């Protein structure tokens, strides 16, 4: 299990966070967060959209926590949660705050995760379900990977469904093609940090699937709070670390 405490030899804290909550004035939020990030000296990227925030930060623990205070000062984001990991170096070259139409693009504008979400299963419960081979009602549990194919190639849950999508917008036609294969099963969708599954879960509900869960916090939270069993390989991340091992350490550093 990954410790939240500074491990001593890895001075850079990495935080990932997202939250779907309506933002009436993205430009004002961008200005607030850009000024705060430049003031505290963090690196990383924050995406701001009318539907919410997607946050990737790296730096000293003090700088990251100061930046998260600024993020939590935005109306509706006081309880945004983070996933933490450590690295020897900062995996971003600069700090950027970008305005986007969606913080994760699905091209389904009628889906509103900020107004309600699909059911979620926490990492410990999923770990137990996978150990016993079924959920608490005795239904077969299938893991559905909502990531791009190249991410799945780095590592995935054992036996997970992989539709080899190349971008998240392709999840919509893939689900419609394979929907009948999922009927009657407990489907747990997962991604890196949980953001894609917020929309995937709602979309699957809208398409008539009944026993739908998203993995709370995604792979990152699963590796942080469990021993990582049932997940094979590494977790691809979109920064200079490239992939994280089961201890949430940069996999590339293990080969140096």
User: Smallest Cα–Cα separation from 83: which of 2, 17, 1?
Assistant: 17
Is 191 a residue of the active site? yes
* Contacting residues for 104 by C-beta, under 8 A, at least 6 apart: 54, 168, 195, 196, 198, 199
Taking alpha carbons only, the member of 71, 67, 41 closest to residue 53 is: 71
Only one residue has tokens 């350490």, namely 249
Four-CA torsion 117, 118, 124, 125, nearest 10 degrees: 150
**CA–CA separation, 107 and 29 (whole Å):** 23
- Rg (alpha carbons) of the chain, rounded to whole number: 18
Which residue in 14, 229, 45 sits closest to 123, CA to CA?
Answer: 229
Catalytic residue (one of 12, 64, 69, 191): 191
Report phi then psi at 72, rounded to 5. Answer: -70, -15
Helices (H), 183-237: 195-206, 218-225
Residues serving a catalytic function are 191
């Amino acid at each position: 299990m990954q410790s939240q405490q500074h491990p001593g030899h890895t001075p850079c804290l990495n935080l990932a966070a997202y939250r779907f909550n309506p933002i009436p004035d993205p430009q004002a939020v961008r200005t607030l967060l850009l000024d705060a990030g430049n003031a505290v000296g963090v690196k990383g990227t924050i995406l701001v959209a009318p539907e919410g925030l997607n946050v990737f930060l790296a730096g000293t623990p003090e700088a990251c926590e100061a930046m998260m205070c600024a993020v939590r000062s935005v109306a509706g984001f006081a309880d945004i949660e983070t996933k933490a990991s450590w690295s020897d170096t900062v995996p971003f070259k600069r700090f950027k705050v970008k305005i986007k139409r969606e913080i994760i693009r699905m091209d389904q504008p009628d889906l509103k995760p900020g107004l309600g979400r699909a059911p979620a299963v926490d990492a410990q419960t999923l770990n137990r379900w996978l150990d016993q081979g079924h959920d608490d009602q005795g239904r077969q549990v299938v893991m559905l990977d909502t990531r791009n194919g190249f991410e799945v190639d780095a590592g995935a849950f054992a036996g997970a469904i992989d539709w080899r999508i190349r971008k998240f917008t392709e999840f919509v036609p893939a689900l419609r093609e394979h929907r009948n294969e999922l009927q009657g099963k407990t489907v747990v969708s997962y991604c890196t940090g949980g953001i894609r599954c917020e929309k995937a879960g709602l979309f699957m509900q809208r398409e008539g699937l009944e026993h739908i869960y998203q993995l709370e916090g995604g792979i990152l939270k699963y590796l942080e709070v469990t021993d990582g069993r049932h997940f094979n390989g590494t977790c691809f991340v979109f920064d200079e670390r490239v992939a994280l091992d089961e201890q949430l350490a940069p996999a590339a550093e293990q080969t140096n």
